[in-house]
Amino acid sequence: MTTRATRLLHLLDDLRRRRRPVRGAQLADQLGISLRTLYRDIDALRAQGAVIAGDPGVGYQLRAGFMLPPMMFSPDELEALVLGARWVASHADPELAEAAGRALDRVVGVLPEGLRLQVETSGLFAPDWSPVPPEPWLPALRRAIREGNAVRLWYRDAQGRASERLVWPFAMAFLADMRLLAAWCESRADFRHFRADRVLGLEDTGRRYPEQRQRLIRRWERQRLRRPGD
pLDDT band at 161 (very low <50, low <70, confident <90, very high): very high
Lowest mean pLDDT among 38-42, 158-162, 189-193, 220-224: 220-224
Average pLDDT over residues 83-107: 87
Model pLDDT for residues 115-156, shown as the tens digit of each residue: 778 788 888 887 776 667 788 899 999 999 999 999 999 999
Length of the chain: 230
Burial-class residue 184 by CB neighbours within 10 Å (0-12, 13-18, 19+): buried
Model pLDDT for residues 177-218, shown as the tens digit of each residue: 788 999 999 999 999 999 998 999 999 999 999 999 999 999
Pure H helices in 32-168: 35-47, 75-91, 94-109, 113-120, 138-147
pLDDT of residue 135: 86
Pure H helices in 2-74: 4-17, 24-31, 35-47
Question: What pTM, to 2 d.p., does this model score?
Answer: 0.64
Average pLDDT over residues 3-30: 85
pLDDT band at 226 (very low <50, low <70, confident <90, very high): low
Helix (H, G, I), strand (E, B) or coil at 71: helix
